[in-house]
Chains A and B, each alone.
Chain A
Amino acid sequence: QKEVEQDPGPLSVPEGAIVSLNCTYSNSAFQYFMWYRQYSRKGPELLMYTYSSGNKEDGRFTAQVDKSSKYISLFIRDSQPSDSATYLCAMSPRGSSNTGKLIFGQGTTLQVKP
């Protein structure tokens, strides 16, 4: 079993829809959680990052962490065609086991249709 599981999709939604992207993980030591957006043939760019549990909002994007369920989510409100990309979750553990290495999910490909 992979440490981080992410449904690869593809996920297709109409413009203006609310999108929910999710990752589950198995390592309870994970403490730092990130979402990256990757446009086709480009490098990933950091979208959101959170520490421990809770929610974080940035414009149309909300990142949510539920450590009790080992589940993280990224919500996109009022989705736009420009949001069409692959979204990668990434995480790393706390404390002495933290070497700076990130564990990535497989990535979910999102298409927002006009």
Chain B
Amino acid sequence: DGGITQSPKYLFRKEGQNVTLSCEQNLNHDAMYWYRQDPGQGLRLIYYSQIVNDFQKGDIAEGYSVSREKKESFPLTVTSAQKNPTAFYLCASSPQPGPLLAKNIQYFGAGTRLSVL
């Protein structure tokens, strides 16, 4: 089955701790994205990557870091600098950025719910 796998489903962070959320896709998509969703709010972009070994900050990158060493993997680290990390984190991918409609469609994983202990 092709898709996007996020793990773990639930994650708890202690104060001062860094935690890493996993995102793996087997859709052969070039672009990958990380979003944060808070209750009653839409999706806010944290980081995105259009190609391996390259990524850009989104609207709320502070306190987060990413890497893109492989096409199929885009892990997100929530650092201790992120003072309010409790949220639902969603990873998405798309074929590649570009002017065609199909390239604008993003496909999402099931999400990771992060809470602070």
Contacts and interface: CB of A to CB of B under 8 A. Distances in A.
Interface of A: 4, 6, 8, 32, 34, 36, 41-46, 49, 51, 88, 90, 92, 94-95, 98-102, 104-107
Given A6-B42, A43-B90, A100-B50, A92 B111 contact: no
B31 A41 contact: no
Interface of B: 4, 6, 31, 33, 40-43, 45, 48, 50, 58, 88, 90, 94, 96-99, 101, 103-111, 113
A49 B99 contact: no
A98 B42 contact: no
Contact of A34 (B33, B103, B105, B109): B105
Nearest to A32: B104
B99 A51 contact: no
B109 A98 contact: no
Pick from B103, B104, B109, B113 the residue with the most CB of A within 10 Å.
B104
Given A8-B40, A98-B104, A101-B48, A43 B109 contact: yes
Pick from B42, B58, B98, B105 the residue with the most CB of A within 10 Å.
B42
B96 A100 contact: yes
B42 A106 contact: yes
B42 A49 contact: no
A88 B99 contact: no
B110 A42 contact: yes
B104 to A, nearest CB: 5
Contact of A100 (B41, B90, B104, B109): B104
A36 B111 CA distance: 15
Contacts of A101: 33, 45, 48, 58, 97
